Structure 1
Amino acid sequence: MDNSTGCTNFFTQNTDITGIGVRVAFYLQVTIVVFQIRLREEEGMNAFWTLASMSFGLMLATVVSAAQHQLSFFNAYQVQNLVCLANCALVQVAHAQWRITLSNPYREQKIRDRMFTWFYYIQYILAGSLLVTLWAIGEKFGPDSSCISSMHFYVAYWRIFSSNAFHGAKIAAFVIYVWLILIGVLGVLLLRLWLRGLIDRAEANGFDRTRDMPTEAELAEYRTRSPKHRPWKVQSWIHYFIYWFLAMSFYIPPIELSLRQNSQPTSANAQWSFGQILSLVAIAPSVVAFFLTIGDFKAERGALRAVVAKARKSLKADDAERATTAEGALA
């Protein structure tokens, strides 16, 4: 790190916003919400709203700090990456929600579903506004803005080497966010239009929109089928693994590498502040619920497999008894 000593304040972390506790909380919550929504819808949505409140609170804290001229571009850059990372998880939750709807397009839409849809677009607008504002006035953003020229920028794992790294990072940030919008917002819109077409065609063919809902036992049995009997489920998992990997590659490495290469090695950066501890406490229920969901899912699969095995054994016994009876009758 070759930052000048006059930029010490610029490169000092705001630990309530970009401290290790806040970052770990975001990383864990993003991972939990992606896998939780695949295991159990209700718990996944609870994890999503926890992440959504964290992301919104982080943006609000950023705006307040910037209005008070207490936030440097260096810290705002980390916030932008964390918010975009949260949006990646938001995309995956949205896709999972619509896959669930596709599996049963006749279920009645709940108020929670409408709230999620509205928040989905509001979050994108807020995050996009933060990104545009940050990069539009970046060279004059916050105190010690002249130190931006000595800041190291990264795209995924690679540092931007150019005469003006700021402009290179600006272009990369917009390209990645537009890519996220294309996959997220437009992808969900196209999926909704396709779903609407499926419902319209089904109703035109005489199907009743208020058909009987499957029982919990039927849903549980369906969830516990082996992957070879659910090829679309395998494709879904592959899709989410790939997207999760890309999200982690484009947002987490720039955060960690930028902090490592730019941060001043001051004692303030190593201190655990109130905001960091609060962030970790906030995700504690999600972590506990995640492990409980995994345990319940395994227990549910084990119980259903035992029932299926017992039923098969009973059928085999009945078949053997019928065969014995038939042989006796022939004799």
Structure 2
Amino acid sequence: MKLLGIYLMKVLGIYLMKVLGKPDDGAGMELMKLLGIYLMKVLGKPDDGLFLTFVLGQYRCGVDGFWEDLNTWNKTLPDCVPDCGTRIVRGLQRIIGGKVATTGEHPWQVLLKYNEHQGGGALLYDNWIITAAHVVHNFEDLSNVIIKMGLLRVKDSAFIQGWPETIIVHEGYKYGNNFDNDIALIKLRNKVPISENVLGICLPGKEEMFQISHHEHSNHIGLVSGWGVTEKGFGSRTLRSVEVNIIDHSQCKAKYAAKSTSNVQYRVTENMICAGYEGGGRDACSGDSGGPLVFFNAQSKKWFLGGIVSWGLDCAVAGQYGVYTKVDNYLDWIENTIQKY
């Protein structure tokens, strides 16, 4: 019945435009709205959203960053923001310590390469990438920076490429000191085409529902993805993901403090979150740095960025955890940086 509603809507819409003119003449649009509301009451709301966009006169965000009227293709409203945080979930093959990703499962995932170095990142909107400062702090020649999106395998020939316009490393990050303020943004020269396979991750809000902690009532299980080193000791050729538990901050801080020596201090700051398992076995690792740690918001039904893969000692070792940049501590910095550039 819903498919019939979509078909009837198309026929009625075309007929009305031929008789009354395009919907923006007022009378045609009002009549189309009434017919749309009637069909929704009788047939139910179609699943694909086409019913609402065509009959009720809604718009979609075009690839070029402007609102697009689906009836006339006119650009009617400027500066729209692409959707974020939705993904395709299919059956996955289980592997040790994680899962092999499938097409569209992590559409925000970005692969960064610079000479022999490799890291990860996440797409924001359609022309920004968020990553770790330690991944990009020495990216001096932007022409040598390779940015790939929409791929599963490192050597896939089909992907969406980004070209960096500028790289902004957080001013509080000091390489070689510790990993505090380990966050950076890359502005792209091009706006990438948004699709099921390439889509930005949502940023968290400041509301309580976005709080991340080890408590079960908050966001306590995250999903981390990347092409980093696997349990075999080599970088993965295929994108992988794994669920990790958020670890009590004081517990993680104490664990790393106990491993510190007079020469090396492992300091977990308030700008970091820890994740992993007490028994080990699941973790991010070398090559995953800069990649996203994301969480599902049950209210919006979308995924948001909670952490950025930052540092750790040995990977997936019992009693030792991965450390991530705490994104919600940097929301103002992200917003101000994007507005500035």
User: Which structure would you say has the larger RCO, counting Cα contacts within 8 Å and 6 or more residues apart?
Assistant: 1
Bigger fraction of residues in helix: 1
TM-score range, shorter chain: under 0.3
Q: What is the TM-score of this pair, normalised by structure 1?
A: 0.19
Bigger fraction of residues in strand: 2
Whichever of the two has the greater Rg, that structure is 1
Q: What is the TM-score of this pair, normalised by structure 2?
A: 0.19
